[in-house]
């Protein structure tokens, strides 16, 4: 049974692929959506397409959000609180995969994959946490991955290691899990739950769009899932009454799976890394 009719849900990275499918399915269940988009025009087109694909009268708002920028995340949160009085679900989905591309830093001078995929999740959740706590049985869903490895919390920006875009992505997905567990522990008995999920391999996702044709073909030969299947577990965690009391777990295809990175010491170390980056770039926050 779904539990999101008329509830307000923020989805990041909703203009294509998994994020767009998550938003579409939640809208079909009657949720009111806020699409956090780096490209407002694409966001508006996505909102129109989502509206056409659902039969109810869900309200869809589009707001500017660049998850690689600490300033943009704080401004989004500020404007959200001015415009809306509630938040029931936050779906952190926006991400980048810079496989086979050179290193690039964010506007804050942070390696772009970490800035978007990890610090973006952390800061947006932190900035909206008061609204989530004020809601009744609110939820955080972090889109992670089973493709996770190369975790080095002493070198999260690849300043010591040779930069490798695929390794940076794999590390960021491990970090997404660690951040989820850290939030989940802090939110126990708060009425807010936080879980992570793996969408599975989606060869047609934009995350793989800048890979070489050879790499893309190799991934396609391994099989995979379509966007609807990839979004399903995130939608289930965000909306189903079956999951309303689950906190701090990792799922794929609606089944809990073990996380080899679950380690309180590492979770707290990553938390401190994120806090340090935020304090450096937003000293007045």
Q: What is the mean pLDDT of residues 131-146?
A: 96
Q: What band does 252 get if pLDDT is binned at 50, 70 and 90?
A: very high
- pLDDT digits over 43-74, tens only? 999 999 999 989 888 999 999 999 999 999 99
| pLDDT given at position 220 | 56
**Which structural domains are found in the chain, ordered by start?**
8-281 (3.40.50.720)
Q: What is the mean pLDDT of residues 162-185?
A: 97
| pLDDT given at position 218 | 54
| pLDDT given at position 284 | 63
- pLDDT digits over 7-42, tens only? 999 999 999 999 999 999 999 999 999 999 999 999
Q: What band does 219 get if pLDDT is binned at 50, 70 and 90?
A: low
Residue 225: pLDDT above 90? Answer: no
Residue 112: pLDDT above 70? Answer: yes
**Mean pLDDT for the chain overall:** 93
169 part of the active site: yes
Residue 213: pLDDT above 80? Answer: no
Residue 210: pLDDT above 60? Answer: no
**Whether the model pTM is above 0.85:** yes
Q: What is the mean pLDDT of residues 231-238?
A: 98
Residue 221: pLDDT above 60? Answer: no
Q: What is the full DSSP assignment across the chain?
A: -B--TT-EEEEES-SSHHHHHHHHHHHHTT-EEEEEESSHHHHHHHHHHHHHH-SS---EEEEE--TT-HHHHHHHHHHHHHH-S---EEEE------TTS---B-TTSSBHHHIIIIIHHHHHHHHHHHHHHHSSSEEEEEE--S------TT-TT-SSSPP-HHHHHHHHHHHHHHHHHHHHHHTTTTTEEEEEEE----TTSGGGTTS-HHHHHHHHHT----HHHHHHHHHHHHHBGGGTT--S-EEETTEE---TT--HHHHHHHHHHHHHHHHHH-TT-
Q: What band does 222 get if pLDDT is binned at 50, 70 and 90?
A: low
Residue 199: pLDDT above 90? Answer: yes
| pLDDT given at position 248 | 98
Residue 211: pLDDT above 60? Answer: no
| pLDDT given at position 250 | 98
Residue 269: pLDDT above 60? Answer: yes
């Amino acid at each position: 049974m779904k539990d999101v009719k008329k509830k307000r849900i923020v989805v990041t990275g909703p203009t294509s692929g998994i994020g767009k499918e998550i938003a579409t399915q939640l809208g079909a269940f009657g949720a009111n959506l806020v699409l956090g988009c780096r490209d407002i025009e694409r966001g508006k087109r996505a909102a129109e397409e989502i509206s056409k694909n659902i039969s109810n009268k869900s309200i869809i708002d589009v707001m500017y959000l660049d998850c690689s920028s600490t300033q943009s995340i704080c401004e989004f949160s500020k404007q959200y609180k001015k415009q809306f009085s509630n938040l029931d679900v936050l779906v952190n989905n926006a991400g980048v995969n810079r496989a086979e591309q050179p290193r690039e830093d964010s506007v804050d001078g942070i390696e772009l994959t970490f800035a978007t995929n990890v610090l973006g999740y952390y800061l947006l959740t932190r900035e909206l946490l008061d609204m989530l706590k004020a809601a009744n049985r609110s939820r955080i869903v972090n889109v992670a991955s089973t493709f996770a490895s190369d975790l080095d919390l002493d070198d999260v920006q690849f300043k010591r290691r040779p930069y490798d875009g695929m390794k940076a992505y794999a590390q960021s997905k491990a970090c997404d899990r660690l951040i989820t567990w850290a939030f989940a522990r802090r939110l126990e008995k708060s009425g807010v739950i936080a879980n992570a999920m793996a969408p599975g391999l989606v060869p047609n996702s934009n995350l793989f769009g800048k890979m070489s044709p050879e790499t893309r073909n190799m991934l396609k030969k391994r099989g995979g899932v379509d966007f609807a299947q990839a979004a399903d577990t995130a939608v289930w965690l965000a909306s189903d009454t079956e999951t309303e009391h689950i906190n701090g777990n990792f799922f794929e295809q609606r089944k809990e799976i073990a996380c080899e990175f679950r380690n309180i010491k590492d979770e707290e170390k990553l938390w401190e890394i994120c806090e340090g980056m935020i304090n450096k770039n937003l000293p007045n926050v």
